[in-house]
Amino acid sequence: MNQKIYGLLLLFCFFTCTNPQITLPKPPPKNPHLEAFTADYLREFQTILAQTKTPGAGLVIIQDTTILQLSGHGTKAVFSNDSIDVNTVFRIGSLSKGFAAVLAGILVEKGALKWTDKVNQYIPEFVLKDAAQSERVNLIHLLSQSSGLPYHAYTNLVEAGLSIRQIASELKKVKLIGKEGEIYAYQNAAYSLIGEIMEVVKQESLPQIFQDDLLAPLQLASTSTEYESFIQGENIALPHRGGNGNWRQRPISKKYYNAIPAGGINASVADMGEWLQLLLGNRPEVIQQKTLNEIFRPRINTNNKNRYFHDWPMVDDAFYGLGWRILTNAKDTLIYHGGFVNGYRGEILIHPKEKLGICVLTNAPSELANQAIPVFLEKYAAKRDSIHAWEKRLQEESRKPLGLQE
């Protein structure tokens, strides 16, 4: 047993044995409406999982620092009895973009980078068709998908396995769609230049930077950034393709491990629960809230793309921040991203004002991934007033003098 823990136990025993009147404080009561919401959502989640015959999924829901739900569902592959558990690792696709943006924020806090640093200051190969624009594009433009490059410029070269440096030298051939900071157009190749920049400033490999500055401080033992780390794992979900419940296992691909910031991260839902804690501002020793606020600040409107989340509850408008989609209405701001790679789907969302977060990882691109977040928002919206009313009543009762409590 750890000596420090042993010492604390001895101290506790001494005081409780010699002072029998000392009692531990009662834990705060659980909000029954919050528990009802979680149970209601879990039932719907399991129903959709069964209806779509999705092979497997992981689910985590947190509220502030409390885990409301952490569970594995289904199997790692069709026609298998090997069950998904909370430590089963999935590829998370474009959820990696949020990791890369937060890692950049950590390096900004440490003084290694500035958000306004120019890209070609670190990557001389970064030359656009408009040479003057090449000189102006900075980290914010990269991470907010507003560099002026057209939609998915050279994603095909990422999937062909070229290095990001090689792709950067080809960007001068691409016709631009506008000036930097003016038009949203989703990127994988250009976005991944942030990883090349990190390697320049740290003089280390990107997997090592992720490990040292983000994964190790958060103790994300199941999370990795390399193909070999994934396929050598003993507890991994296998990818599938197909549809309408007819899923077929497919090979694990090396695609996007050459573009880690865009889609090269592997993780379990247990680790994603820890990640949600960071995103909700509960890990200030790793990244400060003011830096998260910069990352989550809306930078560019995305209404030039008709995305499916425009029909979600609580969503009237959509923007891109730094590596995250920012969905808003008159009173709510949601931080969201989806991911798809190699037959895996991932969905993540936080509601900062409600201190609420959810992540769903699946090993098939089923309707479960499409419905996971809107159903979550719908169920929460139905219970939100009751949840808040119960919390308000609890706070009021805690402020009453003891003799006046009912």
Q: How many CB atoms lie within 10 A of CB 284?
A: 12
Taking the chain, what is the end-to-end CA distance rounded to the nearest angstrom? Answer: 45
- pTM given for the model: 0.91
pLDDT confidence of residue 23: 58
Higher model confidence: residue 167 or residue 401? 167
- What's the Cα-to-Cα distance from 398 to each of 31, 192, 248, rounded to whole Å? 15, 50, 56
Confidence of residue 399 (pLDDT cuts 50, 70, 90): confident
pLDDT tens digit string along 330-349?
999 999 999 999 999 999 99
**CA–CA gap between residue 300 and residue 204 (Å, rounded):** 32
Q: Tens of pLDDT along 233-281? A: 999 999 999 988 899 999 999 999 999 999 999 999 999 999 999 999 9
Report yes or no: 211 and 217 within 8 Å, Cβ to Cβ: no
Measured between alpha carbons, how far is 294 from 172 in angstroms, rounded to an integer? 30
C-alpha distances in angstroms, 273 versus 245, 362, 380? 28, 15, 19
CA distance 292 to 309: 23
E-only strand ranges, 225-316: 240-243, 246-249, 266-268, 300-301
Tell which residue, 126, 83, 95, 31, has the closest CA to residue 372: 95
Query: Tell me, what's the pLDDT at 303?
Result: 81
Rounded to a whole number of angstroms, the CA Rg of the chain reads 23
Q: How many CA atoms does the CB half-sphere of 305 hold within 13 Å?
A: 18
pLDDT for 26:
65
- Looking at beta carbons, which pairs linking 167-175 to residues 24 or more positions away fall under 8 Å? 168/123, 168/125, 168/126, 168/193, 168/196, 169/125, 169/127, 171/126, 171/127, 171/128, 171/129, 172/127, 172/128, 172/129, 173/129, 174/128, 174/129, 174/149, 174/150, 175/129, 175/150
- Single-letter amino acid, residue 88: T
Residue 5 has pLDDT above 60, yes or no: no
Tokens representing 395 are 């706070």
185-217 confidence digits (pLDDT tens): 999 999 999 999 999 999 999 999 999 999 999
CA distance 33 to 106: 37
Counting residues of the chain whose pLDDT is more than 70, the rounded percentage is 91
Average pLDDT, the chain: 92
Q: Which of 71, 33, 77 is nearest to 55 (CA)?
A: 77
Predicted pLDDT of residue 309: 82
What is the rounded distance in angstroms from the CA atom of residue 347 to the CA atom of residue 326? 14
135 burial type by CB count under 10 A (0-12 exposed, 13-18 middle, 19+ buried): middle
Q: What is the CATH number of domain 29-97+205-386?
A: 3.40.710.10
Q: Is the confidence at residue 3, as pLDDT, over 80?
A: no
pLDDT, tens digit (0-9, with 9 covering 90-100), for 380-398: 999 999 999 999 998 888 7
